[in-house]
Amino acid sequence: MKTDKLIDAIGNIDDRFIEEAHKTKERKRFSLSWPTVRNVAVAFGCFLLAVTLLPNMFSHASSANKSDSAGGAYYDGYYTEGMNGGASGYKPSYEASTSYVSDEEATYAAEPGSGNYSNAYDSPTPEPAEPDLVTANKKMIVRANMTAETQGLDETITKLVTQVSAFGGYVQKSSTYDAGSARVYEATYRIPADKYQAFLDSIQDAGNTVSYFEETEDITNTYTDIEARLNSLKAQEERVTELYKQADSIEDLMNIEERLSDLRYEIEYYEAQIRNYDLLVAYSTLTISVRETKVYTPTSTSFLTRLKNAFANGWHNCLDNIGDFLIDFVYNIWTILFLAVLGYVGYRVYRRIRNKRNG
Amino acid sequence: MEDLKIIELYWNRDEEAIRETQNKYGNYCYSIAYNILYNNEDAQEIVNDTCKATWDAIPPAHPQNLSTFIGKITRNLSINRLRYLKADKRGGGEVALSFDELEGCIADTQSIHEDQDNSELTESIDRFLATLKQEQRQMFVCRYWYFDPIEEIAVRFNCSDSKVKMSLKRTREKLKAHLIKEGVINENR
């Protein structure tokens, strides 16, 4: 009863006190409370930790043949596209890779393994018929992508470059960079088409192939069309040149010269195309990416083996991630300190302003 | 619509005044009622009752501050409703906690004079509130007039729950000392 009386009395206090307190309710939506800041900071910290640690963990746990101690994110694109051969030791043949012929004539039968997406794990290995793109009198452009891993990147690079030179090829471009926990070498090689298979054989022991994708484009028809068009233009050019010699008026000469100029422009254009195609056909293109790793990707599909490998690789992965995290933290320590000081000063200023405002 | 115009509508007995009050102060009244009753339907009913009570009160009243005038009506109606619903068995909700806190402040050793006029008590509390720092006063009013939860007050004042509790405790002790000093409550009774 006494409390009721007090509550009733408080209910009738001066309006200005009620209004003054009500203003704090309006302030609520703009204020940044310490609990909120603290919760947001903790959540952000957890998020950063998760972003740093979890992706690699999940990528390794999800599939044993995808596990890679040097961080799986790099290989994700290949895996999800199902192009991963995952073979141990390099198998640069059609049956160990995914291969197809992109061709306006759809000449699948002409290529071994073409049109059939095979995988080293799940399909028997037929004896490959060595494709002879040059002698078959077909114009074929071979392009391939390879991802591999090695335990000694420098030796692998040396070996690869040596083999490229030995087979008469050249390095179109190359780069080496540090991808966090591992170094990665990326390069595009141009290898004479007739020596391409031999070249692939020669680099078998340079590292462990994780995936290999090869595409063969048959440009025979296009090439033949261009050749025919070029011959026709050349014949026209000869005839027009004859006419030029026989012309007797200035007007005729002008017209014939204009026509000759057009013809020669077209001829040059088609000749350039032919040269470009010749180069593409003569030299196969191999884009290779080699990642340095401590443990090779496992090759067995047995569940227990995969489990064992996942466990072992997971440990390496964990150590790598912790190392990466520490390195990233130390790398950003000055930024973190600066932001912390800035935040602290800002908080103190805000408190001071708020206290002044509240009297 | 401005408060003065709404009051003018009340004085002209124009029912538009009730609609305008609902629009402008409906949420405000609802939040006060809900803090006390902790029930959506009851709170909504109190908002409607507040409009009716305001219609009855103006005229003759001519409030200087319409929002607090309406707020007080809502608060009184809500507390009366709570007393009716719960009798002496007060249930959960902030109002019950606030009652307990205030009870702890004066119940054990003091009692309010039985014949104490409520307006005198209110005036004494007004004088007490005027002596407080703004933040303490705001916390006190938020807690014991609006019956806001401690957590909400802490968020609003950018501090921890424990700081709010401590501030309220000190204010209650000061209030007790003030009421004893002014002879509103007896000591050792």
Please report, for chain A, the start and end positions of each structural domain, with discontinuous segments joined by +. 73-221+280-292, 222-279
pLDDT in the model for residue A275: 92
When CB atoms are compared, the residue of A7, A20, A36 closest to B99 is: A7
Give the ipTM of the model, two decimals please: 0.77
pLDDT in tens, A77-133: 333 333 333 333 343 333 333 333 343 333 333 333 333 333 333 333 334 445 454
pLDDT in the model for residue A235: 93
Q: What mean pLDDT do residues A172-189 have?
A: 87
Q: Does B97 lie at the interface with A, CB-CB under 8 angstroms? A: no
> Per-residue pLDDT for A248 more than 90?
no
State chain A's mean pLDDT as an integer: 74
Give the fold, CATH level 3, of B94-186. Arc Repressor Mutant, subunit A (1.10.10)
Q: What mean pLDDT do residues A204-229 have?
A: 88
pLDDT in tens, B32-41: 888 888 888 8
pLDDT in the model for residue A225: 92
pLDDT in the model for residue B77: 87
pLDDT in the model for residue B105: 65
Q: How confident is the model at residue A283 (pLDDT cuts 50, 70, 90)?
A: very high
- Which chain A residue's Cα is nearest to B176? A6
Q: Cα–Cα distance between A198 and B50 in angstroms, integer?
A: 94
For residue A258, which amino acid is it?
E
pLDDT in tens, A27-85: 555 455 566 677 778 888 777 766 665 555 544 444 434 333 333 333 333 333 333 33
pLDDT in the model for residue B12: 84
> Per-residue pLDDT for A267 more than 90?
yes
Task: Answer whether A206's CB lies under 8 Å from A148's CB.
Answer: yes
β-bridge partners, A217: A102, A141
The alpha-carbon radius of gyration of chain B (Å, integer) is 18
When CB atoms are compared, the residue of A9, A13, A359 closest to B133 is: A359
DSSP 8-state code for residue A327 = H
Q: Cα–Cα distance between A195 and A2 in angstroms, integer?
A: 103
When CB atoms are compared, the residue of B71, B79, B121 closest to A18 is: B71
List of residues 6+ apart from A168 with CB closer than 8 A? A191, A192, A195
pLDDT higher at B138 or A4: B138
Percentage, residues of chain B above pLDDT 90: 0
Spans of all domains in chain B:
3-86, 94-186
SS3 string of A106-149?
CCHHHCCCCCCCCCCCCCCCCCCCCCCCCCCCCCEEEEEEEEEE
Written out in words, the top-level CATH class of the domain with range B3-86 is mainly alpha
**Element at A335 (helix H, strand E):** helix A333-357
A24 closest CA partner among B146, B89, B12? B146
Q: Does A7 lie at the interface with B, CB-CB under 8 angstroms? A: yes
Q: What mean pLDDT do residues A177-196 have?
A: 87
Q: Cα–Cα distance between B105 and A88 in angstroms, integer?
A: 80
